[in-house]
Amino acid sequence: MKAIHLTQYGDPKEVLELVEIPEPGAPGAEEILVRVNYSPINNSDLLMARGHYAMLPPALPAIIGGEGVGTVEKIGSNVKHIKPGDKVSLPTGPIAWAELVKAPADDFLVLPDAIDIKQAAMLTINPITAVLLLTEFIKLEKDDWIILNGANSGVGRGIIAVAKGRGIKTIAIVRRKEIVNEILTAGADVVLVESHEIPEQVKAAVGKANIKLGLDIVGGEATNTLAKVVRSYGDIVVFGQMSGQGISVNVVDLVFRGMNIHGFWLYYPHFLARHKEAKAEAAGLILAGKINVPIAQTYKPADIREAVEHTLRGGKVLLEF
């Protein structure tokens, strides 16, 4: 079968290679064999290719690819809840960039027949990150306010959709004026373009409402912007570094306003047990059309270099196996 191997750590355009490897063989009693349909290229995949991710393959060469969707081909003798032909979300972990995947049946989520298969390929990372960010740090009630940056990212759109489904109000920060209406249409209550005026603009938009939670995927000075508007003794969760800079928070906000700064990684052990439940909630939002990430282009695995180059330029790219 064909698979994409990470051959060594380095420039993703140079170290990812399409190879022919043996098929995984028949599934064991508790396993299923799945033919992969689509898998996206995520920033975490590119960080792994560079050797900079917190979770790396035990040895190289290795298949990577952190999420995807496929069709069940064979099931083990003890598997009762999945049947051949089912569409499934692939398990968490770097296994997706191959024509066939074999793993324990309980690690897969069966998807509704009517779900958008390409959107479902992007279920395992960003949408469940969105669910966990809104669940695992503070208790949020209907009509509570949160603020997030990087709102045009896949996870940003997921946060907006999950929040809207729960009645939580969102202030979304974007970098370009031309996508403001698009993010409003996606469900954000307030959309602001990144600038030094954001604290004043937030106050004008929400008045005296407390903003309970800030979600930071950007880092750098953008973290400080969130700290200025989140309520005293409020919480900021940092889950990315799109700016390439470490977080910056004014000591006045940190010390005298009691900001609580948390880090989030999807693969912390205490979150792993929540993945399947979070996936199910996110799958329902995809099925309802509430999470819909624009896809820039789909590539064949043989075009992995071009697909990586496109991802680095910007835009969501899927590999079609």
By CB atoms closer than 10 A (0-12, 13-18, 19+), residue 224 is middle
CA angle centred on 100, ends 1 and 128, rounded to 5°: 145
Cα gap 134→169, rounded to integer Å? 12
State yes or no: pLDDT of 94 exceeds 90: no
CA angle centred on 46, ends 40 and 50, rounded to 5°: 160
CA angle centred on 238, ends 236 and 241, rounded to 5°: 140
Cα gap 121→36, rounded to integer Å? 10
Closest to 241 in 3D by CA, of 266, 264, 215, 218: 218
Q: Which amino acid, 98? A: A
State yes or no: pLDDT of 273 exceeds 90: no
Cα gap 132→129, rounded to integer Å? 5
**Strands, E assignment, 85-210:** 87-89, 100-104, 109-110, 145-148, 169-174, 190-193
State yes or no: pLDDT of 295 exceeds 90: yes
Cα gap 66→18, rounded to integer Å? 17
The CATH architecture one would assign to domain 2-122+293-320 is Alpha-Beta Complex (3.90)
Concatenating the DSSP letter of every residue in 240-265 gives --TTSS-B---HIIIIIS--EEEE--
Query: Looking at residues 260-285, what average pLDDT do you find?
Result: 91
In this structure, what token pair is assigned to residue 145? 């306010």
State yes or no: pLDDT of 244 exceeds 90: no
Query: Looking at residues 196-225, what average pLDDT do you find?
Result: 94
The predicted structure's pLDDT at residue 83:
97
State yes or no: pLDDT of 243 exceeds 90: no
Higher-scoring residue by pLDDT: 40, 314: 40
The predicted structure's pLDDT at residue 102:
97
Active-site pick, 53, 233, 267, 299: 53
pLDDT tens for each residue of 102-139: 999 999 999 999 999 999 999 999 999 999 999 999 99
Cα gap 183→216, rounded to integer Å? 17
Q: Residue 31 forms beta bridges with which residues?
A: 104
| Segments of the chain assigned to CATH 3.90.180.10 | 2-122+293-320
CA distances from 55 to 13, 93, 168, 318 (A): 20, 9, 33, 22
Contact (Cβ atoms closer than 8 angstroms) between residue 215 and residue 237 = yes
Phi, psi of 92 (to 5 degrees): -65, 135
Q: At 48, is the pLDDT very low, low, confident or very high (cuts 50, 70, 90)?
A: very high
Q: What is the CATH number of domain 126-263?
A: 3.40.50.720
By CB atoms closer than 10 A (0-12, 13-18, 19+), residue 186 is buried
The predicted structure's pLDDT at residue 54:
85
**Strands, E assignment, 95-184:** 100-104, 109-110, 145-148, 169-174
The 3-class secondary structure across 50-108, one letter per residue, is HCCCCCCCCCCCEECCCCCEEEEEEECCCCCCCCCCCEEECCCCCCCCECEEEEEHHHC
Provide, rounded to the nearest whole percent, the portion of the chain with pLDDT above 70.
Answer: 100
Higher-scoring residue by pLDDT: 306, 240: 306
State yes or no: pLDDT of 246 exceeds 90: no
Looking at every residue in the chain, the average pLDDT score rounds to: 94
Active site residue 53: yes
Rounded to the nearest 5 percent, the helix, strand and coil shares of the chain are 30, 25, 45
The predicted structure's pLDDT at residue 92:
82
Closest to 153 in 3D by CA, of 115, 132, 122: 122
| Segments of the chain assigned to CATH 3.40.50.720 | 126-263
Q: At 45, is the pLDDT very low, low, confident or very high (cuts 50, 70, 90)?
A: very high
